[in-house]
Structures are given as structure tokens and as C-alpha cells.
Structure 1
Amino acid sequence: MIDIAAELREWCAADRPFALAMVVDVQGSAPRPPGTCVAVDAAGDVLGSLSGGCVEGAVYELALEVVRTGRPQRTSFGYDDSDAFAVGLTCGGTLDVLVWPVVDETSRDAVRHVLRSLAEGRPVALATVVDGPADVLGTVRALTASAATGGPPAHPDADRISRALLASGSPGTHRHDTNGTHLPVSDEVVVFTAVYVSPPRMLVYGAIDFAAAVARIGAFLGYHVTVCDAREVFTTRKRFPDADEVVVDWPHRHLRSLADADALDERTVVCVLTHDAKFDIPLLELALRLPVGYVGAMGSRRTHAQRLDALRATGLTEYQLSRLHSPIGLDIGARTPEETAVSIAGDIIAAHSRASCRPLHTTNGPIHRPATPLWQGGP
């Protein structure tokens, strides 16, 4: 939905009736991943693409019918379908598509919630009943970490599981029985949760030369990078051209504003490079209480020890203190700002993957491993 968000926002603002066609399951090879959407309005205008092939025409006709009748429909395109040959499913893949109407305030509110969250840079999920009784098929519910709108939950456990998928940043299908028990292979109510996430945030506090290198490598890794410092003379766009945002503010106040706006998640990386206790302590006290994925702070081992004493005095627990990566970075002998940025980036990646940081030629087993959430909760 991200690729059609701007135009879809206009349709919703005008209360234009339309149908959304979403890829809800893929088996084998398929041209687009689950969560991909196409919108078709009553006049036949189209936003987006599912495949670029003949499936497009079939979905288009189905969407027009759904807008006209108001009844959701699910269909599949597989290797045996003549349409499938044209869209790259000849290796045996199957593409399942659910088409549902967005013609009333309930469904429109859910779509608006998704679009508003995307515009604000907040991760959002769209949970849709893709299989089950006819009266709940196509029920949609939009969820952020702290709010939900749209239709009612398909099941008492549905919101919890959808939010877990949102936290992981990955879509998923969950099945429920009618007795209120979540079962992995139940055939009663099936919910597909599409997850739409903005780029993860890297928050770099401290407008120093090392911060410029960290911002550069953060942008290279795909983060939305913010550099923040309270000192206006140092915190300029000219000094940090690779940052997406350059903010003049007290670091802890800036971080609190993001937390209050629900703009942080377990993918968020906080790099504290200020070397100044009046900035570091209030900032780190707040960061270590938040469910962000990585908190690192620059400084010597002596500075680190003094910092821990000061943070203990604020009431932080030993578990919370254990989350602090300080001194920040990996031991690779880094000296220059650029080498230090590589060291910090390596530490962030290793924390995300739970990797050993050993040279690959000294290890056994798979080189690539599934990523795990940086933030796993705790006391």
C-alpha cells in the first residue's frame, strides 16, 4: 500500500468508493509479496499493480464487481491458470488475492489509519479476515502499537498477534478457532496481517565529526537518520549532509517527543556521541527505559564506569543498564571517524542478528541467519 498511499489518501478524503485487492498468500515464485495492494474505484480508475501481467485484468474485473456488490471475494492464480503463465508463476507458484470493498466508514477509517500512520512515519498493520464465515470475510482492522480502528477484532487473540507481527516488521497469517483458542492450523477464522513500516530510525545525538560519519553509514544501511544537538552553532545541515533531519534541541527532550508521538519501535537505534554528562545522563536514562532496539554511548572505559554510577542513581535496574552498548562499537582498532562509524555499524548489525562477531573463517554453520527483534522486552 505504500506505493499508492498518496493517491489513496485523496480517494479517502473524497469518500470515493473503491475496492482494495491485496496479495494475502504466496506459495513458490510470485511477482509481488503478500501485502501488495491494488485499488480500483467505481469509475474504473486504478492505483498500483499486483503483477504487470494478465492477472491484473482478472483482478481489475473482480474489483469492479466487489465495488458494485459490496461483497468481498478471494481468488487464486496458480501454475495451471492461463493467466499465471503471463505473470511469472510458471515455476509452480500460487498467488492468493482477497478483494474487499472500501465503501463505508468502518473500512474507510481502517484505510485512513494506515495512510495517516505511513505519513507520520509510524509502523502500522492492516489485519484482514481472509477466510472464514461470509459475514466476517473482508473485515479489516488497522493497528499501531497503541491504537486500533476499523472493524472489531476477528478473535480475542487477533490484535495481540497482529501487534507481535507489527513489532517484528514482518507480515503473517494467523488462524483461530471459534472457542477463543489460537491454533496454528485451525480452519475457522484466518487473519492475514500486512505490515507497513517506514525505514528504521537512527538517532545520532552529538554534533561532532564522528556523528557525520555515523550519519553517512546509517543512511547507507537504510536508516532514517536524525542528528540532534542542543548547540546550534554545530548542528547545521552543512555539517551533516547525509542526515535526513538535523535538529537543534536538547537530546533527551527530542527523544521524549518521539516517544510521545509513538514514533519509536524495536528497530530504533540510539547513538549517543556527546561526551558530556549533562546531555548523556538524562538522555540515556530515558533511552534505556524505552523499547528501542539499540542504545550505544561513546566514551572511554573510565567514562563508562562513571556513567553507570550516575545512571544507577536515577533508579535504572541492572537489566536496563545491561542494554547499554558502551563503549560503543566493536573492537576492530578503529581510530578515524570513518573507521569508528564502521565499528558502530558492525555492533548494531551484530546486536540485531545475535552474531558472534568472529571472523567467518573461524566459524561453522550457516553464514546467514534470520534477524531477531533487537528489543525483546524485559523487567
Structure 2
Amino acid sequence: MRDLAAHLAGWHAEGIEYALATVVDIRGSAPLPLGASMAVDTSGAVRGSLSGGCVEGAVYDLCTAVLASGVPARQSFGFSDSDAFAVGLTCGGELEVFVQRVTAADFPIIEAALYSAEPAALARDLTTGAMISVTAGSALCAGGDRPESVIAQARAMLSQGATGVCAVGCDDSVREVFVASFAAPPRMIVFGANVFAAALSRVGRLLGYRVTVCEARPAFADRARQPEADEVVADWPHRYLRDTEVDSRTVLCVLTHDPKFDIPVLVEALRLPVAYVGAMGSRRADAERRARLREAGVTAAELARLHSPIGLELGGRTPEETAVAIGAEIIALRHGGSARSLSDTTRPIHAPERASFAEPARSGDHRIRSCGVSTSSGEPVSSHGTY
């Protein structure tokens, strides 16, 4: 949903109401992940996507109906043998879509979730459409209704980066609530400010990473040479890596191609719990690098984590083609892809969303029916899509 943030900000500034359609459940295969959203304003303008096109005509009609009535709607769209391209999902899956009208009273709640500098969650009642924005230390609701059980559940799911439908006991009733968690984007740290780094920064941002380029030579650590990076740092790579914050989603790409920079930073990198460590170089350079790393005390298990030479073998030569090959390797590792041509494989193109439907919740229970996690872009996807 964060991909809609800029569009929604414009509508909010102009006071334009709109219908917001969100994928709240997926069964089988689907083109886009749980939480994918599409918005239709009162003039009929459309922003976002739910399925890459195959159900959006029908959802558009549902959005216009909800805009007119103000009554939220929840509807399933699945494969249709008779008219698959008109309404059904040609990939064979089924989407459950929730549509609600968003009014000016809701604008601050949506903004609090989408523009938060810290991890945030947006919870929506799937009957009334009431919304709550939650962070670890705050909650914003419309009107006087402040359901503490919903806030607690949303906060618990946010702490896990989880997204999905949950049944929450409130007083003497049970509410079905969709919680979308938005994490901060993961980091891509590129060592070496060269033309390959500039190209990889573009690919990294396209994939939803916050990109830092680190360069030891101040003359080359020039922001103008790396316009697509979120930040450019002048520091020795190993020293910067030792002092900066990384996590299990961070990817590290060593493009310095110089042993005096490569070896110290790789010794640090291969001992960190990050998602990916890759290093650029020829086959000969890679063999020499691995020997130096062993001499520096890197173990066989640590060395096995190194992707070097970096990237998939796509046959490209330009910095842009090299950057795509690196990005493709990161994607394949992240999602467990085979890195083979789809025409040579038989497994589903879109791996099914993980869904576990718990027993109906009793009053006071908090049970997640189906959930996923936030990805690099902050958008929610199923848990099979994590590192």
C-alpha cells in the first residue's frame, strides 16, 4: 500500500474522498501479494493494482458502488473457466478483496501509518471499515472508539512484521480485522563508488532497498557520482560496516575490486547475520580472494555464504546489465527461486500465499487467520517470501 502514498497524499491535500480496495486474503496463486491495494477517487481516477489487471475491472465497479453507498464490501474473485480474462484470475488462485470509502476523517489515520518514520501498522475492521494506525508506542483512531484489544493485536502483529486477517474479541462480540504491517525498508550497502555501484543503486532502489554507497577515497565519495543512492559515505568499508546497523534483511555488495578494501570488509561481512554477501571479481580474483580470506581466519562455513563472483550468469557486460544480474541473484535467494528460465520449470510462477485458518475466536481471544511479513518495499507478503 505504501506505493500509493504519494498519490493518496495529493488526494488528501485536495480533500478528495476515494474507495480503497485491498487484498485481505489469497488462496492459491496470485500475481501480487497480500495487502496489495488499489484506490479509485470520485472522478474515477485509478491508482495502484490488485492483480496485475485480471480482476481490476470488476473491482473498479465495486469501488464505484462503495463510493456511492458508503457501505464497505468484501468479495472474492477467483478463476472463471467461462470468462477468465474478464473477472477470474487466470493464474488459478482466488483473492478476497475488501473495499471501503475513505473520508477526510480517515486521512490522518492513513497518513500516520504510511508516513511513519518507525514501523507502523494499519488495522481495518472488515465489517465497518473503521481504521486504527498503530506504532510501538502510539495509536490513532477516529472518533471516540478506541478498541484496546484491536490495538493490542495490531501491535503484536507489528512486532512480528505480520500482515493478515485476525479475529479479535471486543466486549461481547468478535471483530474480523485486517492488519497491514509496514516495516522500514531493508538496507543495501554497496562498497566502492564506481559505475557499477551507480547502476546497482538504481536496481536496489527499484527493488525497495535503502541504498548506501561506501567509498574509502574521499575524491570518489561524491554524491553527484552516485545520484540514485540514498546516501554516500566516505569511510573505510570495514570500519563503516563495523559501526553501522544491519539486520537479517540487509544485503552487502562489495564492488571495490581491490584486496586492501575487499578482504577487511568481507571478514566483517561474512560474520554478520545479513541476508546476502556478494563480491565482484574475475574467477582468478575470486580464487585469490578466497585464499586470502582463509588466511585471515574465515571459516569454511562463513566462506560458503560468499556469492563471488557476484550475480547470476546472464551474459551481460555493461554496468546496467551487471547490476540486473546482481539484483536477480538477490531476488532468487530471497524467494528461493531456481534462477532458471520459467519455461524450463514446472512449479507455480507465483508461489501460493501461506494461509492458516484458525478456529473461530471466542470473546477475548486473538487468533491470526492468515498472516505474512513485510518485504523490502514495506509491503506485506506471505511468509515464504522472507530470507
Q: CA deviation at 1:17?
A: 11
Matched-pair contact (CA < 8 Å) for 1:329–1:344: yes
SS at 1:289 equivalent: coil
The change in CA–CA distance for 1:346 and 1:177 in structure 2 (over 3 A counts) is closer
Letter of the structure 2 residue corresponding to residue 272 of structure 1: V
Matched-pair contact (CA < 8 Å) for 2:263–2:292: no
**Aligned equivalent of 1:229, options 197, 215, 232:** 215
**Aligned equivalent of 1:140, options 132, 144, 150:** 132
Q: Following superposition of structure 1 onto structure 2, how do residues 29-178 of structure 1 map, counting pairs within 5 Å?
A: 34-36=35-37, 38=39, 53-63=60-70, 74-76=72-74, 89=87, 95-99=97-101, 103=105, 110-117=109-116, 124-131=120-127, 138-143=130-135, 149-150=139-140, 152=148, 154=150, 158-162=154-158, 164=160, 172-176=163-167, 178=169
Letter of the structure 2 residue corresponding to residue 113 of structure 1: A
Aligned residues: 320
SS at 1:154 equivalent: helix
Q: Is residue 329 from structure 1 mapped to residue 314 from structure 2 by the alignment?
A: no
Q: CA deviation at 1:130?
A: 1.8
Q: CA deviation at 1:271?
A: 0.3
Matched-pair contact (CA < 8 Å) for 1:285–1:311: no
Q: Residue 368 of structure 1 aligns with which residue?
A: 349
Letter of the structure 1 residue corresponding to residue 140 of structure 2: G
Q: CA deviation at 1:206?
A: 0.8
Q: CA deviation at 1:301?
A: 3.4
Distance 1:244 1:344 in 2: 16
Distance 2:200 2:16 in 1: 46
Q: Percent identity?
A: 27
TM-score computed with the length of structure 1 as normaliser = 0.57
Q: Residue 82 of structure 1 aligns with which residue?
A: none
The CA RMSD over aligned residues, in Å, is 5.5
Q: Residue 347 of structure 1 aligns with which residue?
A: 329
**Aligned equivalent of 2:234, options 236, 249, 256:** 249
List per-residue Cα deviations over 1:182-207 (Å, max 9, x = no partner). Answer: xxxxx943221335678765432112
Matched-pair contact (CA < 8 Å) for 1:288–1:323: no
- In structure 2, runs of 5+ residues without a counterpart are 49-55, 78-85, 142-147, 352-381
The change in CA–CA distance for 1:334 and 1:234 in structure 2 (over 3 A counts) is farther
Q: CA deviation at 1:255?
A: 5.9
Letter of the structure 2 residue corresponding to residue 233 of structure 1: A
Q: Which has the higher contact order (CA 8 A, sep 6+)?
A: 2
Distance 1:225 1:194 in 2: 24
Matched-pair contact (CA < 8 Å) for 2:190–2:213: yes
Distance 1:110 1:244 in 2: 30
Matched-pair contact (CA < 8 Å) for 2:40–2:63: no
The change in CA–CA distance for 1:214 and 1:373 in structure 2 (over 3 A counts) is same
The change in CA–CA distance for 1:252 and 1:153 in structure 2 (over 3 A counts) is farther
Matched-pair contact (CA < 8 Å) for 2:313–2:325: yes
